[in-house]
Chains A and B, each alone.
Chain A
Amino acid sequence: MKPVLKIRNLRVYYRTKRGIVKALDNVSFDVYRGEILGVVGESGCGKSTLGLTIMRLLPPNAKIISGQILFNGVDLLKLSNEEMRKLRGSKISMIFQDPMTSFNPLMKIGDHVLEVFKYHEFNDLEKAKEIAVKILQKMGLESGRFYDYPHQLSGGQRQRVMIATAIAMKPEVIIADEPTTALDVITQAQILKILRELRDEIGSSIILITHNLGVIAQIADRVVVMYAGKVVEVGNVDEIFSDPKHPYTQGLIRAVPKLSPEGGQLQPIPGSVPDLINPPSGCRFHPRCPFASEICSKEEPPAVSLNGRLVYCHLYKR
């Protein structure tokens, strides 16, 4: 399988009043064609920054220090603003987290979908409208909804419209940033089902960013585990869930409440998420790691390849 997206040594920092936040530090991984890749981690681990960086939609105080994002061989970080704009929505698109605030309240939802066509030189407005209505219907919305305003739709319906705008031009990569976090469990399941069907029908790769392991378990093929701005483990979803290698991944999976008859206590990971302005030296997880040794506080762990799994941990060094 060929990677559609290759991320290499990505470093993204934010300038803030309190100092420089090292949000993404030397992040590398691949996204393969047609796969659903989960990116999972706690709040503040950099996963949202990752999505915005790929789209080059970072806020003004963010700076991409170094790295490459190769999309079909082309480094996105070297493109001009106009070249990047042409890719957005047509080849790479994004589904945003909060459906309540991600729509222009003055614009009909149908016009939101039409915008994607309008800005990518699709001049036949009639045809565009036809396609838009069809996509909305496929998302389960009646054709009359085309003329509604966002406030007339529920959260779940809006999220479907969001997906509709993201897939309108059949992009190769769809970045879904916490697409179900703001929704109830039932709607969540529906949206996830839609995403999976999309991948099957169109063949887009989906980067699914979330903090919810359950969502990953349901539809992701592979997963990237992130902690404090770094990648700690990459691998196949089934394998990682059954045999997590990195201590953080182990902690994450152990922390999920289980509905077993014996009950038992919640097992959170001790300690708290580090300050990204002054991250811990060496391995960023070492202050909370039950297996930490001296080298963990001194040197950053290398990438260790284990049967298709990638772990960034001193424990697995040969």
Chain B
Amino acid sequence: MGALSRYIISRILTTIPMILILLSLVFIVLRIMPGDPVNAILGEKAPQEYKEKLRKKLGLDKPIHVQFYEYILKIMKGDFGTSLLTKRPILEELKERFAATLELTIFSLLIAVPIGIFGGSKAAYKRHSKEDHAIRLFAIISWTLFIPFFGSILQYIFGIKLRVLPTSGRIDPFNVPEHITGLYILDSILTGNVVALIDALRHLILPSITLGIVMSGALVRIVRENMIIALKKDYINAARARGVTEKDVVYNHALKNSLIPFITMFGLMFALLLAGAALTETTFSWPGMGRYLVERIYYRDYPAVQGAVVLYALIVALVNLIVDIVYAFIDPRVRY
């Protein structure tokens, strides 16, 4: 197992520069704004002493490399600063929003992944057939759908015309379940709160269908492409020559092998998912990280904006690391 541990360690070591680069990029981007951030927050005409106070508070009076150093240090300690708008610790606010985004992404994946894998493999196996064209048409239309447009259609049909589902928010404020994880579905199950469970699910349906279907288009495309490549390999025919049934050839041989490139792409998929979630959250007023980012930009709450983007960077780096490690467990060529 020496090769495996070595691989994991090398992946962790590569992730650290990646995180540093991302954090530096965030630092740079958030300071390239032309003009003085303090002016932007307080307005040009504010009294000088208020400006000095804010400048000191934001740490903007120190030289740039000191600012950077303190920034990194604080992040490592988990101090994301305080919101200028709400005066609350940003990390606290982000924790709540993160749970909301997580719930949305999990349920969207529950929809997107089965469609992606079954649709993609069927289309690849029956390439050039009517099913293949139909599945590809579905996939291409799905990923080209503009999320706010698709979400609005669903909102209009189910929320406004038929009035069966809510069109915004995560839950009725009276029904919020007891806080254990922050994931309402999980929390309501754990506390046996049926009312909360149903309400949370009702709010979750439309947003996850919206994001799920759009993601499924991209997934079908990726799975199909990788399966076509896998099915062309020589070992597929060699398996048939040993008497393996078609079903097992597709699932045990082709699919398993195409899941490897699929897993390596999962990091990218996750990034697409987070981006799509931001639009979905805006459309459905879902209180997640994406909406938090947009809101705080509007209110010029720059520490909060920085905090949110930093969190995105950390999540992405972590997911990529996990994906790399999972990949190492699956592909024997890495282990031995």
Contact = CB atoms under 8 A, between A and B. Distances in A.
B240 A120 contact: no
Contacts of A98: 234
B239 A104 contact: yes
Contacts of A33: none
Interface stretch (B205-213, B242-250, B315-323): B242-250
B234 A90 contact: no
A295 B253 CA distance: 52
Interface string B316-336: 000000000000001111001
B240 A88 contact: yes
A148 B333 CA distance: 11
A152 B336 contact: yes
A149 B239 contact: no
Contacts of B235: 101-105
A81 B243 CA distance: 11
Interface residues of B, number: 25
Interface string A249-291: 0000000000000000000000000000000000000000000
Contacts of B240: 55, 57, 85, 88
Nearest to B240: A57
A85 B239 CA distance: 11
Contact of A55 (B234, B241, B333): B241
Interface in A84-118: 85-90, 93-94, 96, 98, 101-107, 112, 115-116
A149 B336 CA distance: 8
Contacts of B333: 105, 149, 151
Interface string B225-246: 0000000011101111111111
A165 interface: yes
Contact of A101 (B234, B332, B336): B234
Interface in A22-57: 52, 55, 57
Contacts of A316: none
29 contacts: A52-B237, A55-B240, A55-B241, A57-B240, A57-B241, A85-B246, A86-B243, A88-B242, A93-B241, A93-B242, A94-B238, A94-B241, A96-B237, A102-B234, A102-B238, A103-B238, A104-B239, A106-B256, A106-B260, A106-B331, A106-B332, A112-B242, A116-B242, A119-B242, A119-B243, A119-B245, A120-B243, A149-B336, A165-B242
